[in-house]
Chain A
Amino acid sequence: MAGMTSAAPGRHYLDVWGVAKSFRGTRVMSGMNFRMDRGELVSLLGPSGCGKTTLLRIIAGLMEADEGDVVLGGRNITRLPAHRRNISVVFQNYALFPHLTVAENVAFGLRARGTAKSACAGPVEEALRLVRMDAFATRPVSALSGGQQQRVAVARALVVQPDLLLLDEPFSALDRKLRETMQVELKALLRDRGITAIFVTHDQEEAMGVSDRIAVMNAGRIEQFADPSTLYARPATPFVMDFVGLSMRLGGRVVESGGQTCIVETAHGRISAPGGFAPGTAVQVGVRPELVAPGTGENTIRVELADAMVLGSKTVLHGAAQEGDRLICEMPGIRTGLARGDAVDLGWSVADTLIHEAAA
């Protein structure tokens, strides 16, 4: 991304440009560029410490960048304090005001902008109806469940009609089933209202579910910024391949290169992969597990099963692999008759094979 800093800022709805940040002398981010369009739902996805929350806080104005600019809707907001940016934040713990009722929480942003108390009632009621919490208006927030608190936090963030909505791990405090329901609900709500939003998350399924595009972050950099299907089918780096979805993974060295394809020597034999890597290059080849099937294919390896897990909707085969490799095959439905210790052939096509230069 470093080569792209020459692009002029301001052409996109949100343009984060050349941002750098240090904590106690340690650079956690430098030359960060991030752009999105109006109405997009984007996720910042990465492991903890990758810089996604730092980027969110810099956009929100809760943290100052050491270098770089943040431009929103053509306005440079880099030096504006948070309360003058019109960017709402939904926090991981929702940060509802414990001394206020549900309705008072939602009215807070309007009151802060000088709206008279009497003029707040209408918008507050509408916002609460939007998240189906209108029956709870007079309750104290401590009496609400996690899912209800999240709805109130969303209503509170939306009632001020923000130019941008930021959500910091908004689903992580909810249990799995509720999380999926809330993801569907929230996505529909944001779409209907044409809200531009950024989700910060470490959960790749959540990111793929709620966003148009995902920026996969690692060590203060964006590794790949693409729509979910591209990210999954064509991961740009070994990190993205590993972080987004599971994959079969084999380390090896290119032994033959013939223009469109090359042949890689691995611990489980030779594998053909698309791409023109020079012979001798250390690479990592991979393939998504649902594209692998028992039996022979264009690429075939023989593995000894470490486990065959019947998970209901799918059956997963794990092969015994050496350190750093992963041998995995997923089949839809329930497959029986395979057990630990069996030797099986696993096959897949050359076109489905992913290949990246191995990290030094």
Chain B
Amino acid sequence: MSGRLDRIGLLAVPALGFLAVVYALPLAMLLAKSVQGPDGFSLAEYRAFFADEYNLRVLFRTLRVAALTTALAFVIAYPTAFAMSRAKGIWLTVFLVALVLPMSLGVVVKAFAWSILFRANGVLNSALMGLGLTERPVRMLFTETALVVGAANVFLPFMVLPIYSVIRQLDARLPEAAASLGATPWFRFTRVTLPLTLPGVVAGSAFVFSLAVSMYVIPSLIVGERQQNLSMLIARSFLFLRNEALGSTLAAILLAIAIAVVLGSGWAAARLGARR
């Protein structure tokens, strides 16, 4: 038996080789640069990074935007996933297509579509002024709000689908049992439905947060250089400043955040699932 399993394990070899050559090796070389001083090993780049207040602001902004994006995506996705779990036949297809199809539309196209919506003489501002709610156009493009809304839009499927798959497996008898035991709708939701769907929320949040903390194209198109995030800083270090040491230090910090998110959500999911 174990011999057979071993041979099945061999099927992973091509993927491992591919990842080793194309991903792990260059990444290791890049990270090595971040701790390479003139006289060998050095943490000077890291010290310099954390000493600069501007860098800290960028780091904080990156985390805040990712957190807000995750929160907004969750607020929209959770009820959507419930609606999807009740949908049947053609309606379920409509939901899935509406969710997946926009992913095939490039971010660039979407960003220009948003600018039609958000710009000073755009649809939203024309409507607001037409209604007399504001005298002057409200600045929307190039703001953090626009960035969060845009990013949540792009990453929404990554939040909806994991939650949807957990809700679909939820036994419909459980809320009914809770009701027959005297639980109000709110009590049922907070004590039964929400705890049992949390693993999906954790998975979706990990996806969206990881994507949002490292996004580059969306903030470049929506807020531009005005408010940089970590990825934009990395790109600038490599492309404009030609400072590989700085770029690889930033990359290492971004990687550390991503690893922390993955490990943290894995731990949370294991804790939530431990009692099953």
Interface residues of A (CB under 8 A from B): 60-62, 81-89, 91, 93, 95-101, 108-109, 111-113, 140, 142, 156-157, 160, 166
Q: How far is B26's CA from A276's CA once the two chains are assembled, in angstroms? A: 98
- A165: nearest residue on chain B (CB-CB)? B180
Q: Chain B: residues with CB nearer than 8 A to chain A?
A: 171, 173-174, 176-185, 187-188, 191-192, 195-196, 272, 275-276
Q: Which of B174, B181, B272 counts the most A-chain CB atoms under 10 A from its CB?
A: B181
**When the two chains form their complex, are residues A82 and B180 in contact, meaning their CB atoms are under 8 A apart?**
yes
Q: Judging by beta carbons under 8 Å apart, are B177 and A91 in contact?
A: yes
Instruction: Using A83-B182, A98-B196, A108-B191 as known contacts, say yes or no to A89 and B275 having CB atoms under 8 A apart.
Output: no
List B contacts of A83 (CB < 8 A): 179-185, 188
Residue of A84, A88, A99 with most chain B CB atoms under a 10 A cut-off: A99
Give the complex CA separation of A112 and B179 in angstroms: 9
Q: Assess the A89–B191 pair: CB atoms within 8 A.
A: no
Residues of A within 8 A of B182 (CB): 83-84, 86, 109, 112-113, 160
Instruction: Give the docked Cα–Cα distance between A20 and B191 (Å).
Output: 34
Across the interface, do B180 and A62 meet the contact criterion of CB distance under 8 Å? Answer: yes
- Bound-state Cα–Cα, A86 to B179, Å: 10
Q: List 6 A-B contacts (CB under 8 A).
A: A83-B188, A89-B180, A112-B178, A112-B191, A142-B275, A166-B180
CB-CB under 8 A from B275, the residues of chain A are 98-101, 140, 142
Known A97-B177, A108-B181; 5 more pairs at CB < 8 Å: A61-B179, A89-B177, A97-B174, A97-B192, A140-B276
In whole Å, how far is A24's beta carbon from the nearest beta carbon of chain B? 12
Can you list the 6 inter-chain pairs with the closest CB atoms, starting with the nearest? A109-B181, A112-B183, A95-B173, A95-B177, A82-B179, A89-B180
B176 touches A95 (CB 8 A): yes
Do B181 and A156 touch (CB < 8 A)? yes
A95 shortest CB reach to chain B, Å? 4
Q: Name the distance in Å between B177's Cβ and chain A's nearest Cβ.
A: 4
Per the bound structure, the CA–CA distance linking A87 and B191 in Å amounts to: 20
Q: Smallest CB–CB gap between B41 and chain A, Å?
A: 48
- B1: shortest Cβ distance to chain A, in Å? 27
Residues of A within 8 A of B185 (CB): 83
Kindly provide the distance from the CB of A218 to the nearest chain B CB, expressed in whole angstroms. 26
- Could you say which residues of chain A place their CB within 8 Å of the CB of B272? 99
Q: How far is the CA of A62 from the CA of B174 in the complex (A)?
A: 12
Residues of the B chain whose Cβ atoms lie less than 8 Å from the Cβ of A156: 181
Which of B173, B185, B187 has the most chain A CB within a 10 Å cutoff? B173
